[in-house]
Amino acid sequence: MTGTPPGNPPLRVGLVGYGLAGSVFHAPLIAATEGLALDTVVTSNPERQQQARTEFPDVRTVATPDELFDRAGELDLVVVASPNKTHVPLATRALEAGLPVVVDKPVAGTAAEARTLAALAEERGLLLSVFQNRRWDNDFLTLRRLLAEDALGEVWRFESRFERWRPKPKGGWRESGDPAEIGGLLYDLGSHVVDQALVLFGPVTQVYAESVVRRAGAEADDDTFLALTHANGVRSHLYVSSTAAQLGPRFRVLGSTAGYVKHGLDPQEAALREGKRPGPGWGEEDESLWGRVGSGESPLTGGGQVAPTVAGDYPAYYAAVARALREGGPNPVDALEAAAALDVLEAARRSARDGVVVSQ
C-alpha cells in the first residue's frame, strides 16, 4: 500500500469472512485506504483462501477465528464480515482481546445485543463501528445535498426502494427461515433503507410493516414494505423486494415546494464485483441516470430540472475509520445508531406478524 506517512506504519487489519461482504466490499476498500493494510483473511474455504492470496499477494490466510485471535497483539483492527449470526460473538471476542472492530450490518439480531456490544466497546475504550456503506451511495449523498440547500422545502414523504428481480431463491443463510440465521430481506436490505431514513429524518414514533414470502421454495421474507412516522412529521415509505418484476425509482422524495426522483442503483457495488478499484472517476455515473427536481411535472417525460448526482464514495467509510483510530476522529457509524435502526426492524417484524402499528 502506498501513501502511508514515513515512520507511521499502516494499521494491520484482520478480516473475518471472505464471502460476498468480505471479498467484494471490505477487502478492496481496506486495501485502498491510506493508513490501513489488509494483514489476515479468515475463511475455512480453500478456494476463497486462494482467491484472497491471488487478489492480495501479501495477505495471510487462516481457517478459523481462533488462529486470528492467537495473533491479536499483531493486529490493530478486526473486521467482521461473516454470517449475521456470528457478528455478536466475534465482535465481543475482538473487543475482549483489546481490538477495535468494524462489523458488517446488521451488527446484531436485536437492539439489546447491539447496545450490549456498544457498552463493552465504551468500557474498553475501543472503536466499534458498523459498516453502513449505503450512507455513501450517490443518490443518498445527492439527497443530503438537496436537503441542505432546502431545494424541496419541508419534506412530507420519503420513498425509498431497494428492489430486485430474483424469481428463484438462491438459498444460503441470507434466505434462511431459521431465526438464528438472522436472514431475510427485512434485516438485509431493510438495514440499509431504515438506516438511511433515520439519518435523514431522525427518530421514529410509529412503525407499520407488511412482510411476506412470495417465491416458491423461499423460507424468509422476500417482499417487505415499511411505513415509518418520524418525530418531525416526515413519513418514510420503504420497500425491499426480490420479487419486483418492474423496478420503481430508487428515491421519490416529496416536499412542500418540490420533489426529487432518482432511478437506478449506485454503481459502486457493480464496479467492485467487476474487480474495479477506487481511483479517478470512482463512484461517478452517466448523466443520463441523474435524477430530477420539480413540482407538478413528470420526470419520465423530461419534466423538472436535472439534479446532478454526487459521486458515490464508499472509500470514505474506511478513511474515516483510519482517522478515528489514528487521530481520535468521529466514528463514521456508531453502534448506538445501528441499535436505533434495529429498534425499527424489530418493531417492523412485530407489526408484520401481528398486523398492528407499533409505537416506539
Per-residue pLDDT of the chain (360 residues; tens, 9 = 90+): 334 455 689 999 999 999 999 999 999 999 999 999 999 999 999 999 999 999 999 999 999 999 999 999 999 999 999 999 999 999 999 999 999 999 999 999 999 999 999 999 999 999 999 999 999 999 999 999 999 999 999 999 999 999 999 999 888 888 888 888 888 999 999 999 999 999 999 999 999 999 999 999 889 889 999 999 999 999 999 999 999 999 999 999 999 999 999 999 999 999 999 999 999 999 999 999 999 999 987 766 777 899 999 999 999 999 999 999 999 999 999 999 999 999 999 999 999 999 999 999
DSSP assignment string, 269-285? HHHHHTT--S-TTTT--
Asked if 36 and 13 count as a contact pair (C-beta separation under 8 A), the reply is: yes
Three-class SS of residue 98?
coil
Closest by Cα among 23, 33, 25 to 1: 33
Which whole-number Å values give the CA distances from 220 to 69, 176, 181, in the listed order?
A: 33, 6, 10
At residue 182, the pLDDT reads: 87
The answer for residues whose C-beta is within 8 angstroms of residue 50's C-beta and 6 or more apart is none
CATH of 11-133+316-331, one of 3.40.30.10, 3.30.465.10, 3.40.50.720, 1.10.1740.10: 3.40.50.720
Burial of 247 (0-12, 13-18, 19+ CB in 10 A): middle
Cβ atoms < 10 Å from Cβ of 97: 17
The answer for residues whose C-beta is within 8 angstroms of residue 74's C-beta and 6 or more apart is 12, 39
Which whole-number Å values give the CA distances from 284 to 131, 234, 294, 314, in the listed order?
A: 21, 30, 23, 12
- Amino acid of residue 30: I
Q: Do domains 11-133+316-331 and 135-313+344-359 have the same CATH topology?
A: no
The answer for residues whose C-beta is within 8 angstroms of residue 94's C-beta and 6 or more apart is 69, 72, 78, 80, 100, 101
Closest by Cα among 97, 153, 150, 86 to 120: 97
* Cis before 9? omega within 30: no
CATH of 135-313+344-359, one of 3.30.360.10, 3.30.230.10, 3.60.21.10, 3.50.50.60: 3.30.360.10
Three-class SS of residue 67?
helix
**Dihedral class, residue 65 (left if φ above 0, else alpha if ψ from -120 to 50, else beta):** alpha
Report the alpha-carbon distance of residue 255 to residue 155 in Å, rounded.
4
DSSP assignment string, 296-313? SS-GGGT-SEEEPPPPP-
β-pair partners for 204: 230
**Domains in the chain: boundaries:** 11-133+316-331, 135-313+344-359
Q: Grid coordinates 449506485 are at which residue? A: 266
At residue 3, the pLDDT reads: 42
Q: Are strands 77-80 and 11-16 parallel, antiparallel or unpaired?
A: parallel
Containing H/E element for 28? helix 27-31
